[in-house]
Amino acid sequence: MPRHLIRFHHYKNVRDSDGHQVSAGEERAVPWVAITPVVNAIRVLERLVPQGELLFSSTHHDIVSQRRHHGALKRATLDRRVEDLVSWINQEATAQGLSAQRVPEDPHGNLGLSRLRRTLAWHIARRPGGLVALAIQYGHMRTALDARTSSGYGSRERRGFHGELDVETALAAAQTAARLRDATAAGEKISGPAARRAIVGAASMPSFEGALTTPKAAAKFLARDGLVLFDNPDAFLICAFKRDTASCDPDPGATAPNQFACQLGCGNAVRTDSHAQAVREHADRLDAKAALVPQPLGDRFRRTANRFRALADAHDSTAQSAEEAIA
């Protein structure tokens, strides 16, 4: 899916050279990266309000109860709209016979904006390079590149964001372990130099699913060097991250891999039968693309496809059951 850059103005902590608040704001230095549905939604909002107006203008969006108000929609109104969205999704899911797509009731109460924000963070963080993307989206880029400091999420200052990143990373790792346990229990085989360590790590990993955890507990969990599992769907593998054997050039004190710099032949790599199947499907897609582009580029696609098939073949020839891997 193509990516788009969204440029916009922000207003928080925008000051002139004398330190005075600039009410007109300024263009944000780092644009958001968004997928096509987000851009389409913004274009719809742009058609709903006059040019130059706020996309969520109270005057144009809340004509029933807040016509007299100026500026953006208020927090309480947006919270209600999040709940209205949930109701609409559930209504459509029921009408279309897709009960599994319903949004379940939450024992902790309504979603609201803050919990919707956390949900978005959950999805962003669970992609390779997602923690950096999360920092960019939520305006914490300096913190993501700075040394680890104190916890506490909610400011756009240097302090406070790493605890949230640790929590999201720990939750993602726990879910990767759960999926690996389920896959091997269902009969999938596993291969790779870290296969045995991954099975042991998955078996010994506490579950965070469905529960909230603290930044302190998450940091302790991630410090289990060699036993924490990270899914990397773009590389078609699981990384049983261990600093000393990592080929992605992690920092000396890193507790997670540089997933965007994943290297073939790394000693932390693990693949399952599902990964091998996904590799072959990706190779087939590359071959299909090769037939539609100029020959030099097509030849490159075919060579890449052959390398991916070689990875799948290597898995098939060396894969073991979980019991065999730890024997």
Question: Cα separation of 272 and 123, whole Å?
Answer: 23
CB 218, CB 166: distance < 8 Å:
yes
Look at residue 76 in the predicted model and tell me its pLDDT: 82
- Tabulate helix, strand, coil % of the chain (nearest 5): 50, 10, 40
Q: Which of residues 166 and 212 earns the better pLDDT score? A: 166
**Alpha-helical segments (H) within the chain:** 36-48, 58-61, 75-95, 112-125, 130-137, 141-145, 162-185, 195-204, 215-222, 273-290, 295-318, 322-325
Structure confidence at residue 134 (pLDDT): 64
Rounded percentage of the chain residues whose pLDDT exceeds 70? 80
Q: In this structure, what token pair is assigned to residue 140?
A: 């914490």
Residue with tokens 């009408």: 95
- Per-residue pLDDT, averaged over 259-281, amounts to 90
Distance separating alpha carbons of residues 68 and 263, to the nearest angstrom:
58
Neighbours of 195 (CB within 10 A): 25
> What value does the mean pLDDT of the chain take?
80
Please give the pLDDT value at position 129: 60
